[in-house]
Amino acid sequence: MFLKVLFCFLCVFVTFCTSADDYRLRYEFKYSFKGPNLMQADKSIPFWNHTGDTVPGDEQVRIVPSLRGKKGGVWSKYEFPYDKWEIDLHFRIHGRGKVGADGLVLWLVEKPNQPGPVFGYMDQWKGMGLFFDSFDNDGRSNNPYVYTIVNDGEISYSHATDGIEQKNGGCLRDFRNRPYPVKARLTYLNHVLTLKIDSGNTDVEDYEVCFYAENVMIPKNYYFGITAATGGLADDHDVLKFLVRSLHEKTPDELKDAATEQKLKLQEEYEKNLKEFEKDQASFKEQHPDMAKQEPQGHADDLFEGGTSPELTAIFEVQSEIKRQIMKMVDLMAILEGKQSDIIDKLGSSTTGTMQPVDGINTLDQVKVVQETQKMTFEVVENMKNDVQFLRSTLLTVSQSISQLSALKEVGGNNAGGGGNYESNKQFRAVQQQLDAVENRLVGIQNKQNKPPQLMCPEPEMPSCISMGMFMLVAITQVVAIVLYHTCKSSREDAAKKFF
């Protein structure tokens, strides 16, 4: 397991660049559902079956209500024939108490409609389960927790530890009692499973990487399902949307059309902004006729772009590239934090003596692998800090250019792109805030590396002792043997004395 973690550190920066954006998405309506008019007249869901205590509605599906000891689920009627896909799951889990139970699971498994003890589904399943676990069974204060388990049919789910030791990836996310629906986007591409979550704090989509699991094998022709369960505590578990899209590689013609479409979109946006500018200019002339006479004459495009548009364009391009790099670094940081949390969890289990050697690797080898992994993580963090410093210097240069352009704007008038300075300063402040956030996360990871968890060697096993009954039996046998020996010896000596 530790070797797998080390391998993930080596591969994550190479494979991260591949994303679903390079593929064509096709909506699969037979494997999806959403409101309105979600439920038909016979209270059924098109292309889906519902079981247990599930209650379909027009706008949502209540998998289980907020009643104790309930189980339910919905299952697709048809096998899913694709091995590259993307899923959007919009749901709400809400209740009156501060602590809820038990949670919601998204399944892609071989056998559908099999009720059981694992959040309403059978144990030792074949396939993938994405768990939104809201109850803390192990008492580690690490719930609500989101994680995935890919099972080959041999693993029995551990309720006592919330399946933490069996997960392929996971993260801490509070998805209960959110003001807006929680959105989860699960992507499976090239045997890599990626989960991004919008926690539902605002009505604007803001996805963050939860985990990035590699070498995940999920076969085709499995069934989608969503189940939930309640125990001593109860929450309402509602699913608003379940959208499935298959991924297909784009042809050269499609790539060319995408570039043309992007160009047309930018041209349309430019023309829209130009019309707004001309409208504002005409309004300004009506309100200030004296100042309008002093305006320089020229082409409308020149007036819209301004005399210093090449410089502003260059600044905008630099800031856009910086923003893209920062967002990429944020995603990489989230993946790095997830890998680090996995290592800390496994080290914590090893100190309690619950972890056994894997694949013939002893404890000393595991410790060496962990030390090498931490060293590699430290180097990655240092490289990222250098990148942040480079971006800061670039931003300083951009800021100086903005100041120079501001002076030119004051000399040249307010009509020729006067809002560019304000927009540039606004973008500069936004990028500066993002850089500060990235640097804070880097410092947090470095602090964790400077204070690694204390590794303790497992205590040697005590030699097994015999029971008290066995000890008494052996002792009595020895006493009887000694008595018989002395008795036999005495009788022989008495018999020998008779001849003298």
Instruction: Report domain extents, the chain.
Output: 18-252, 306-358+365-450
Backbone angles phi, psi at 187, to 5 degrees: -120, 130
Q: What is residue 462's predicted lDDT score, i.e. its pLDDT?
A: 57
| Beta carbons of 131 and 163 less than 8 angstroms apart | yes
pLDDT in tens, the chain (500 residues): 444 444 444 444 444 445 556 788 999 999 999 988 899 989 899 999 999 999 999 999 999 999 999 999 999 999 999 999 999 999 999 998 888 889 999 999 999 999 999 999 999 999 999 999 999 888 888 889 999 999 999 999 998 888 888 999 999 999 999 999 999 999 999 999 999 999 999 999 999 999 999 999 999 999 999 999 998 899 999 999 999 999 988 777 665 666 677 777 777 888 888 888 888 888 887 887 776 555 555 554 554 444 445 666 767 777 777 777 777 777 777 777 777 666 666 666 555 544 444 444 455 566 666 666 666 666 766 777 677 677 667 766 766 666 666 565 555 444 444 444 555 566 666 666 766 776 666 666 666 655 555 555 556 565 556 778 788 888 888 888 898 888 888 887 777 665 54
| Beta carbons of 74 and 226 less than 8 angstroms apart | yes
Kindly compute the dihedral angle of the four CA atoms of residues 91, 95, 101, 105, in this order, to the nearest 10 degrees.
-10
| Beta carbons of 175 and 93 less than 8 angstroms apart | yes
| Interacting residues of 409 by C-beta distance below 8 A, sequence separation 6+ | 308, 416, 417, 418, 420, 421
| Beta carbons of 208 and 197 less than 8 angstroms apart | yes
User: What one-character-per-residue DSSP string does 302-318 give?
Assistant: HHHH-TTHHHHHHHHHH
Q: What is residue 417's predicted lDDT score, i.e. its pLDDT?
A: 44
User: What one-character-per-residue DSSP string does 35-104 give?
Assistant: SSS-S-TTS-BTTEEEEET-EE-SS-EEEE-SSTT-EEEEEESS-B--SSEEEEEEEEEE-SSSS---EE
Q: What is residue 349's predicted lDDT score, i.e. its pLDDT?
A: 58
Kindly compute the dihedral angle of the four CA atoms of residues 259, 260, 266, 268, in this order, to the nearest 10 degrees.
-160
Q: What is residue 132's predicted lDDT score, i.e. its pLDDT?
A: 96
Cα distance between residue 412 and residue 414, in whole Å:
7
Reading the block at residue 171, the tokens are 């993260």
- 461 to 246, 315, 457: CA distances (angstroms): 53, 67, 12
Q: Domain 18-252: which topology?
A: Jelly Rolls (2.60.120)
CB atoms within 10 A of CB 290: 6
Q: What is residue 414's predicted lDDT score, i.e. its pLDDT?
A: 46
Reading the block at residue 162, the tokens are 């919330």
Q: What is the pTM of this model?
A: 0.57
